Homo-oligomer: A and B are copies of this chain.
């Protein structure tokens, strides 16, 4: 399989669906809908929705049936970026090479746009849940809610803030990113599968895949922040160091960080061994995560 063709097809599918699911940029609620669209439809890798589709495919499901949930994951990702960028958080002016939401729409509107995207995500997940047996749909809602909250993304964000300026060790750093980045990535690939199968062995395999790939993704991100191409990653290189954040390269050096990321990718691919060729896109995505330059 050709990964770049696969990713391009997924992205096209997802961007079309996002455009339909996002409310129109009319003036009915001032510029709120415009703010939603500005952040969600910004150019991006669409990694989380792609993982939902690939998770469904890995268990023999029809990826088109999980599209609402795939879009929901991108809404949750966008919500977290908008709130992370706010002045009381990281106070960033640029994101993905464009002005951040609060710089364009103001702080109050950005706050509310983030809130609205989290709510919209559950509307979309409900659309997927309505099409599968009750227990399965409810489990997917619970899974994604948990991955977004205190035992997931928000919890990781809090730990990350608490660690700023402190010398955290490797285990603490892993824990921060397992929650902050890993939980939602794991939820994405697992949710895609859970909407299509009840097979516990497959679902657990995808969970392990998600956890390994999530951490590898963060290490690769940290490396790009040191050696990346500013024009490609869309934000100034070196921002982690300036914010006095502990990172993998800072803790282990670039070479050892690369080795760790590669070990995690191998682990992720091994986790997929119970799954057949339907999981090939996931295998290719795992390799891509450490090879990408953006």
Which A residues have a C-beta under 8 Å from some C-beta of B? 23, 28-30, 32-33, 36, 79, 83, 86-89, 107-109, 111-112, 114-116, 118-123, 125-127, 129-130, 132-139, 141-142, 144-146, 148-152, 154-155, 157-159, 161-162
Chain B residues, Cβ within 8 Å of A138: 126-127, 129-130, 137
Asked if B150 contacts A33 (CB within 8 A), the reply is yes
Are A134 and B142 in contact (CB-based, < 8 A)?
no
A129 and B149 contacting across the interface, CB-CB below 8 Å? no
A112 near B157: Cβ-Cβ < 8 Å: yes
Contact A129 B112 (CB under 8 A): no
Q: In the complex, which residues of chain B have a beta carbon less than 8 angstroms from the beta carbon of A135?
A: 130
Chain B neighbourhood of A141, CB < 8 A: 122-123, 125-126, 129, 141
A151 CB contacts on chain B under 8 angstroms: 23
How long is the Cα–Cα vector from A206 to B182 in the complex, in angstroms?
42
B112 touches A154 (CB 8 A): yes
Majority secondary structure, A binding face: helix
Which one of B79, B126, B127, B145 lies within 8 Å of A123 (CB-CB)? B145
Which chain B positions have C-beta within 8 A of A152? 119
The docked-state distance in angstroms from the alpha carbon of A53 to that of B120 is 25
- Knowing A159-B29, A159-B30, say if A116 contacts B146 (CB, 8 Å): no
| Chain B residues in 8 Å Cβ range of A83 | 111-112, 115
Is there an interface contact between A115 and B154, defined as CB atoms closer than 8 Å? Answer: yes
Query: B116–A149 contact, CB under 8 A?
Result: yes
Distance in angstroms between the alpha carbons of A146 and B121 in the assembled complex: 10
Min C-beta distance of A126 to chain B, whole Å: 4
Q: Which residue of B lies closest to A157 (CB)?
A: B112
Give 27 CB contacts A-B under 8 Å: A32-B150, A32-B155, A32-B158, A33-B150, A36-B150, A87-B88, A88-B88, A88-B108, A88-B111, A89-B108, A109-B158, A112-B157, A115-B115, A115-B118, A115-B149, A119-B145, A119-B152, A120-B149, A122-B144, A122-B145, A123-B141, A123-B149, A125-B141, A129-B137, A134-B136, A137-B138, A141-B141
